[in-house]
């Protein structure tokens, strides 16, 4: 599928809102830059992409996305180094996953030129919005929605691909407390758990609300059949440290193949940390906790990067994890190593960063 991105139309806004923007006071994903990229799919092909001022989109009330949730997205970040160069982190991984999600949701795949080169063109227009310094990034949200009108329950023939950008610091403002799912499920075999589908997230809202009412921030999902295996945490993949070994569940039809997850495993192994990618049972972490061997639990994802978990609730009991400082916490050590690569402050042994 060849797509010519050089035809892209660029229509810039009259006046940037950047001067009115407070880069120090950022609520994750709340505010967006001056421009967005859009591209429509119709008559069996992707049309000419456009960069235009960030603005509302008009859709038919009967558009399939509103009725059947035919929608997918990605999460990526751009970083600026001390030379003012802008870098993406493993963008091809997101591109490939986006297309896998598209196929699972009966949506058209995207040509690489549209996703990657379109994004680079947009980032070049928005260079000023990428701030340098550790902890700063520009969160990138590519998404696709079904736009064809008509409430017949069948896939749309028309779609909108769009990229919006939001200056970001961290997703969570500290450690999180989690509840281990004993009844609700995020995904099941044969379902859409491995896709970055909008519905995977809305399905979590209600059980997460219940967890929040009980005093927890997030839910750690367990397998839908037995609720005995630990799988994924809210917006993140999840790692458990028993003594000196980091354990995370294998990706599957139910678990998202997270870019941060796989980068941490590869980088961590390179740095000498021991990982096991295998099923991990709730019972195993409770026994490890009781023996004093459960040292840490943390989540990993693009938005959150690495987020320490303070403790977890299971079976009506709360288990508070040890308070490890920067030197002792594998979560914080790995976060530091990864974010230094992303920010071009350390060597990039796997050539993950891509200059735009």
**Contacts with ligand COI, residue ranges (CB under 6 A):** 75, 201, 235, 301-303
The distance of closest approach from Cβ of residue 62 to ligand COI in the complex, given in angstroms and rounded to an integer, is 27
Nearer to ligand COI, 107 or 256 (CB): 256
Q: What length is written for the chain? A: 356
Q: What contacts 345, CB < 8 A, 6 or more positions away?
A: 81, 134
**Residue showing the smallest CB distance to ligand COI in the complex:** 75
C-alpha to C-alpha distances, 279 to 79, 181, 186, 222, nearest whole angstrom: 34, 16, 17, 11
Nearer to ligand COI, 69 or 282 (CB): 69
Q: Cα(261)–Cα(283) distance, rounded to whole angstroms?
A: 23
Nearer to ligand COI, 259 or 356 (CB): 259
Strand, coil or helix: 143: strand
The distance of closest approach from Cβ of residue 249 to ligand COI in the complex, given in angstroms and rounded to an integer, is 17
C-alpha to C-alpha distances, 330 to 254, 259, 307, nearest whole angstrom: 26, 18, 11
The distance of closest approach from Cβ of residue 19 to ligand COI in the complex, given in angstroms and rounded to an integer, is 27
Nearer to ligand COI, 222 or 302 (CB): 302
The distance of closest approach from Cβ of residue 45 to ligand COI in the complex, given in angstroms and rounded to an integer, is 28
Residue with tokens 């354990």: 247
| Secondary structure (DSSP) of 323-339 | ---TTT-HHHHHHHHHH
Nearer to ligand COI, 3 or 339 (CB): 339
Q: Cα(65)–Cα(303) distance, rounded to whole angstroms?
A: 24
The distance of closest approach from Cβ of residue 175 to ligand COI in the complex, given in angstroms and rounded to an integer, is 17
Taking residue 150's Cβ as centre, other Cβ atoms within 10 Å add up to 13
Nearer to ligand COI, 8 or 123 (CB): 123
The distance of closest approach from Cβ of residue 341 to ligand COI in the complex, given in angstroms and rounded to an integer, is 17
| Secondary structure (DSSP) of 29-63 | TS---SEEEEEEEETTEE---EEEES------TT-
User: Which backbone phi and psi does 170 adopt, to 5 degrees?
Assistant: -95, 160
Nearer to ligand COI, 259 or 337 (CB): 259
């Amino acid at each position: 599928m060849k797509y010519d991105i050089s035809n892209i139309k660029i229509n810039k806004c009259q006046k940037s809102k950047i001067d009115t923007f407070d880069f120090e006071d950022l609520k994750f994903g709340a505010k967006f830059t001056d421009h967005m990229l859009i591209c429509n799919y119709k008559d069996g092909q992707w049309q000419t992409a456009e960069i235009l001022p960030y603005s509302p989109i008009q859709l038919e009330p009967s558009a399939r996305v509103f009725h059947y949730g035919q929608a997918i997205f990605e999460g990526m970040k751009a970083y600026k180094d001390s030379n003012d160069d802008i870098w993406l982190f493993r963008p091809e991984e997101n591109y490939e996953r986006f297309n896998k999600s598209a196929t699972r949701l009966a949506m058209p795949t995207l040509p690489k030129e549209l996703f990657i080169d379109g994004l680079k063109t947009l980032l070049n227009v928005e260079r000023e919005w990428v701030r340098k310094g550790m902890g700063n990034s520009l969160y990138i949200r590519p998404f696709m929605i079904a736009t064809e009108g008509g409430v017949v329950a069948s896939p749309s023939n028309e779609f909108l691909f769009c990229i919006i950008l939001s200056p970001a610091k961290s997703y969570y403002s500290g450690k999180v407390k989690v509840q281990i799912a004993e009844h609700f499920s995020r995904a099941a075999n044969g379902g859409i758990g491995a896709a970055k589908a909008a519905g995977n997230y809305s399905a979590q809202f209600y059980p997460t609300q219940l967890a929040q009412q009980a005093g927890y921030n997030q839910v750690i999902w367990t397998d839908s059949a037995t609720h005995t295996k630990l799988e994924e945490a809210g917006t993140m993949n999840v790692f458990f440290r028993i003594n000196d070994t980091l354990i995370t569940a294998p990706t599957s039809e139910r678990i998202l193949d997270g870019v941060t997850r796989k980068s941490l495993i590869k980088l961590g192994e390179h740095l000498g940390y021991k990982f096991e990618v295998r099923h991990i049972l709730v019972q195993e972490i409770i026994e490890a906790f009781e023996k004093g061997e459960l040292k840490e639990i943390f989540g990993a994802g693009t938005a959150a990067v690495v987020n320490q978990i303070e403790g977890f609730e299971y079976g009506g009991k709360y288990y508070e994890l040890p308070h490890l400082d920067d030197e002792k916490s594998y979560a914080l050590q790995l976060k530091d190593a990864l974010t230094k690569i992303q920010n071009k402050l350390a060597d990039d042994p796997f050539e993950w960063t891509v200059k735009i």
